[in-house]
Structures are given as C-alpha cells and as structure tokens.
Structure 1
Amino acid sequence: MAALFILGIFLVFIVFLVWLVLKRTKIAAKPPELIIGSVYIFTLFLFLIGLLFHSNPYYKAVDPVDGECYNPFSEQHILTLLFYFVAYNISLFLVWTRSKKLPPLSLVLAMIFILIGIVLNLVIIYQTSTHDTTSLDIYISDTEHILLLFAPVAALCVGILLIYKVLTEQLTETADRTYANPYLHKIQDFLLHKSRNPLWILVFLFPVFFICTLILILFGQAPDAIIKVFTETTTWKLSQQMHPPVLDHKGHYLCTVAASGHPTIVKPIRLGQRNGRPIIVNRQLLIANAFEEMIQDFSPKLHHVIRKNYDRYGYNLSTKINTPSVSSITYVAMKPLEWFFLISLYLFCHKPELKIKQQYTL
C-alpha cells in the first residue's frame, strides 16, 4: 500500500509538471490529453525502474540471490532500438501539437515513424510478456518484469490514437475541398479513396526504414540489429542465447557459522569443498546438508521449493552473521533443528553416518 501511495503521489507530480511545461511553452492541451501524456511519461519511469532489475547482458554470470537478472534487449544492438524510440516519441509530440501545421513531407515521415514504433512496441510487449527464470533456479523475484510492460502498452495506445486523429483530420479536410478543374476532382477522389487503405502507407514505410537502416550501419549497427536486439538475450520470450552458470553465493548460511563462530562452540572439524572452493565445516553443517540431500532424493520438487525459500531468506540472514558472537549464537539456536535433521536421517537413511561423512568432501 505504501508503494502504491508513493507511486500515486509521483503520478500527480508528473501531471503538475507536464501542465506547467505546457503552460510555459503555450501549448494548448485538453484535460484528457494532459492525463494521457502524464500517464505515458509515468510508465516510462516504471520502465526504467524495471530495467534496473534486469540490466545484465546474456553472456555475464549473475548471482540470482542478489536479485540480478538479464536485460530483455541486447546491449550491442540497443542503439537501433534507441533511435526508433527517440524518433517515435518526437513524432508523437509533433503530431499531437502540430498535426495541422506540419509540412506534408514532415507529417508523412512522422506517421511512418509512428507506424514503425507501433510494430516495435508490439514486439517489446511480446518480448517482456514472458520471463523464464527456471534456469536461474533460485532467482529471488520474478515480478519486476511487469514494470516493463506498462510503457510499450501506453506507447501503443498513444500511437494508435494519434494516427486516428491525423487520418480523421486529413480525410475531413480532403473531403471538404473542391476544385473547378474536373481532372483535379478525379485525382482528389482517387487519393481520398486510397488514403483509406492502410496498404498505401506501406509503400512509403519501407524506403524510410531502409534508409534508417543504412544510417545505423554507418554507426556500427548490424543490418539485422532490429531483430538481434531481441534475440541476443536470455530468459525472455524471443531470447535465443543461454547465460553462463550462476555465480556461487559466496559461501552463505551455515558455512558462515562454521567459519566465523568461536571454535570452542561451533566445533569446526575439517576443511571441505563447496562449488570448487575450500570451506570450514562442522558437524551441524554436515548434518544439514545430508538432510537436504535426503529430501532431494525423496522429492526433487519439494527440495526445489525448500531450497528456493532457503536461499531467498538465508542470504539476508547470512549477511548479518558477521561476528564470532553472532555466529556462535546462531549455532546454538540451530541446535534443535540439527537434532531434527539427525533423527530424520536415522529414521529414513540406510547409512546415516556415511551420508553425513560424505558431505563437502575434498
């Protein structure tokens, strides 16, 4: 509720800011237009927040426990997407404020960039609609990607509304125009009829798109960058790449207790190996890991649920276990759970001590 209240205050602030800017620049805007424009800007801020949670390229190893995840857009080809984003929003602004005053060629270019932007927004919606984090296993959250959906949906709606606005204005103006010359009348009727056909616009769209692609190539972008910006990613709908194995979680949880507690209390017994790294182990850690292994043998699905929640909350706990005293207190507090694990092993495991001994072997 607190987050929604803050977002509401922020939205009101954006509405006021947009109204102030329009007033200073003497741009007339009806209340619905003011609200729609403010909401659109607000969704762009949400989009940026979403990207903060999903900022890593597909080839970088991440630590899911820290909430790190992958960008839905390829950083190598992002310039192409940024170019069309800027062109789209400039076109929206020009069509909204000056559609009746724009020169014919400028209006045509603006409409073409809006059409291209609409297509790209549809692709972005499709790309961010699915975020598959199963390969990350213990990713602590899978909801922030929703923040990436609002902006393309809002941009799509604004673009469609402005295209409808321009077409309505142009058709009305053309229909009301009369010519004394009969040949001009025939040309007018022909253009009026063709302007109702969306395919007529595509004739001008592809040459503009081709020229933009050539310009972007001069700036180091690939000819198919508009496709690769979505496919050279991982964990998203159109992704075709695989990320590296996730990073080790820095020896969290009971490993911290065994290594940091007072030796007379936590009773370290030997060195072990965890994910290729040496660690200090005690019997409590060995019993806990043996119990986890037993659960995994009995029910992999149950183990996945337990492990996911253990990693989610255990990491935050481990960051607070940073002194010998706290580590020792944690060891004592975990004793009842250790006894439960040990009893379970002796009840359901054929050779419990062998299983305990095999944990974290070098």
Structure 2
Amino acid sequence: MILLLVLSLPLLGYVVYKQTRKGVASSVKTLEYVFIVSFTLSFLLFCCGLMIYDADYHKAIDIVDGGYSPFASKHLLSLLTFFFLAALGLLMLWLKGRKMPPLLFVLMLVFVLIGIPISAAVFCQVTYNTENYAAWMFGFLPFVYIVTTVAVICKCVVEEAAVANDKVYRNKVLNYLNQKMSNTKHQPFYILILMVPVFVIIVAILILFGQESDSMTKVFTETTTWRFSTKTHPPFLDHQGHYLCTVAVCGDPKVVKPLRLGLRHGHEIIVNRQLLIANAFEELIQENLPGLHRVIRGFYDKYGYPLSKKITSQQGSNLVYRLMKPLEYFFLLCLYMCSTKPEEKIAKQYSQS
C-alpha cells in the first residue's frame, strides 16, 4: 500500500502540474516536471545525509552511529544562504525569464551563476571520503543544480526576448541602471561585473549574523574525512567492543588515566589500563572457555551497548570507571593466576603494530 502511494504521488503531481501550466507545450511540461521532481528528491536526500552525517570534526563519535559532516556547522549558514539565493534565482528565471525587468533579471542570473562554482565545490567535497560514507546522498543535489541551471539559462537564451525597455522607475539611479541593462548585448558583461560586488555584499550581511569573512572556504575545510578536510577527528568510540572505550575517551584524564591510542576494527581508540585488563580477561576466557565466552559476549552486547549510549558526560564516565574498579581487580587476579605472562597479554591489547 505504501509502495503504491509512493509511486502514485509523482503521477498525481504531474496531472496537477499540467493543469497549472496552461499554454505550455506538453513536451516542455514533461521536461520541467522531471527537473522539479529530480531537484526535490535530491534536496530531500541531501537533508537526510545531513541528519545522518552531522558530527563536527572535534566530536568523538561511535563508528556505527552516523559519521562526520562534510560541512562545518559553524559556517553552514553561509552555504545555506547562497543555496537559497541560487534556488530563488532558478525559480524566478524559470517562471518569468526575460519577462523580468532587466535589473532583476541580471540579479537573479548573478545568484544562479554564483551557485555553480559553489555546487561544484560541494560535489568535489562529497565525492571522496576516508570512511566509506554514503556520499551519493549529497552528490545528487549539486549535480542536479548544475544541470538545471544550464537548462534554465538555455531557456532564457532561446526564449523570444521580451526585454523591458519600456519599464520606467521613479528612482533616477534605478531607471538609469534599467536602461543600461535592457541592452541584451551588454548583459553578459554586467553579469560578470556584478558577481563580485553581489558576493561581497552577501558575505558582509552574513558577517553581521556571526559568520566569518572566509566562511565559504571554512565550511569545507574545517571538517574531517572528506576531500577538502584539513582537521583530524578524535579516535572513534567503539561501542561494539567495550563500553569502557567511552570511559577512556570521555572521562576526566586525572581519573580514568588514558594511556595511549589503540586500534580496533581499523579505527583508533583511546585506551586506559582498565580497558586493557578487561579485554585481556575476555581473551583469556575466549581461549580457555569458548562456550562461556559466547554466553558472556551475548549478554554484554545486549545490555552493554545500550548502557554505553547513556555515558555521555565526564561525570558519568568517571562514575562508571570507579564502579568497575572491583571488577578490574578481579580480572587482574584471574590473569595473574591463569596466564604465564599477564603483563605482556595486557600490553598487546589494541596494539597498532
């Protein structure tokens, strides 16, 4: 039923769209509708991607829960503003095209053209990452935007010119600009000239809202794991292993005493002695009592992971570390009783060599 509804909605939308675009050839309506659906779906995919991969580079995350964002949240407002203006320009050019007053037409075209290099940068950013993220969720929107922009600009070029030479503004400056820009031969020149000041004005307005002058660069570079990333991220939390990994990362270093970086499932984690002892004890059980190990491991995976999700504060990590101390001493006692080289066994846990 849900599948049928999903398939029928686009068809129903096309029927409604045909009725609203009277006087337009059917082939043009179909092509326009394909662009609208593609743009909408790619935008929704992009938003889903932002919800899944939403962590900034400085945040320690679980390797199974989402991932790092390709865009720095601190500078995301700049990117969203230019996207909104570019989308507005596309909409205005598509609906009115050359029927707009020349001044407005040139301004909308400037917004759209500024969006092209930004979309290209977004596409380059998301087409490579070091963690095998589902980057295709981000890639469709900039690609569809560039294709749609080319189509809309072609529409404006081949459209019969309805240049607003007869438009008159009361303001002498606006009227002068309108008369100058109504000359279609000179409009490409005016568009190129206006791109820089329009970009600067938008950036200046964004600075008033707390953005930085180079936010459009930092939104790509102040990230991790993506193409233009320049930052490194903290070692991944690994809740599929020991939730004590969370303690080692999030706890007060004076309390939990992190020792070094370790390697688990191909990712770096921070380890302390309590974690090393616990993992060495698990290895000891696995080697000597595999049946018991499967039972303990199953119980641990069922209840340890949900518990680890709740360890989100330094105080909580410190508390868990202290509560685990008696078990740590018990594990250590077992290791010294059953292993000929207990310290070597402990030291080799999560070794990166």
| Same fold (TM > 0.5) | yes
Question: Structure 1 CA distance, aligned partners of 2:117 and 2:280?
Answer: 60
Q: Which residue of 1 aligns with 2:106?
A: 108
Deviations 1:5-61 (A, max 9, x none): 96x974752453465367469796611111121111011111122222211011101
1:285 aligns with 2:285: no
Residue 356 of structure 1 and its aligned partner are, at CA, apart by 6.3
1:204 aligns with 2:194: yes
Question: Are 1:289 and 1:359, in contact at CA under 8 Å, matched by a contact in 2?
Answer: no
Mark the runs of 5 or more structure 2 residues left unpaired by the alignment.
Answer: 164-178, 246-258, 260-269, 289-296, 305-337
Deviations 1:183-216 (A, max 9, x none): xxxx99x955555xx5652111111111111111
1:276 aligns with 2:272: yes
Q: Which residue of 1 aligns with 2:54?
A: 55
Identity over aligned residues, as a percent?
30
CA RMSD in angstroms, aligned pairs only: 4.0
Deviations 1:153-180 (A, max 9, x none): 011100111112212336x567xxxxxx
Q: Which aligned pairs between 1:1-362 and structure 2 lie closer than 5 A?
A: 10=6, 13-14=9-10, 16-17=12-13, 20=16, 23=19, 30-64=29-63, 66-133=64-131, 142-169=132-159, 193-195=185-187, 201-249=191-239, 251-252=241-242, 275-276=271-272, 278=274, 285-287=282-284, 319-320=301-302, 354=340, 358-360=344-346
Residue 144 of structure 1 and its aligned partner are, at CA, apart by 1.3
Question: Structure 2 CA distance, aligned partners of 1:89 and 1:162?
Answer: 12
Residue 288 of structure 1 and its aligned partner are, at CA, apart by 7.7
Amino acid at match of 2:205: I
Amino acid at match of 1:278: Q
Change (3 A) 1:194 1:11: farther
Q: Which residue of 2 aligns with 1:296?
A: none
Residue 278 of structure 1 and its aligned partner are, at CA, apart by 3.1
Question: Structure 1 CA distance, aligned partners of 2:146 and 2:205?
Answer: 25
Question: Structure 2 CA distance, aligned partners of 1:35 and 1:282?
Answer: 55
Change (3 A) 1:210 1:13: same
Question: Structure 1 CA distance, aligned partners of 2:155 and 2:298?
Answer: 53
Instruction: Give the TM-score taking structure 1 as reference length.
Output: 0.61
Question: Structure 2 CA distance, aligned partners of 1:55 and 1:358?
Answer: 40
Question: Structure 2 CA distance, aligned partners of 1:161 and 1:74?
Answer: 31
Residue 98 of structure 1 and its aligned partner are, at CA, apart by 1.2
Question: Structure 1 CA distance, aligned partners of 2:22 and 2:8?
Answer: 21
Mark the runs of 5 or more structure 1 residues left unpaired by the alignment.
Answer: 134-141, 175-186, 256-272, 292-314, 323-351
3-state secondary structure, aligned to 2:274? strand
Question: Are 1:91 and 1:110, in contact at CA under 8 Å, matched by a contact in 2?
Answer: yes
Deviations 1:69-120 (A, max 9, x none): 1111111111111111111111111111111332211111110000011111
Change (3 A) 1:19 1:211: farther
Question: Are 1:290 and 1:355, in contact at CA under 8 Å, matched by a contact in 2?
Answer: no
Q: Which residue of 2 aligns with 1:302?
A: none
Question: Structure 1 CA distance, aligned partners of 2:39 and 2:12?
Answer: 14
Question: Structure 2 CA distance, aligned partners of 1:246 and 1:282?
Answer: 17
3-state secondary structure, aligned to 1:73? coil
Question: Structure 1 CA distance, aligned partners of 2:90 and 2:298?
Answer: 45
Change (3 A) 1:60 1:19: farther
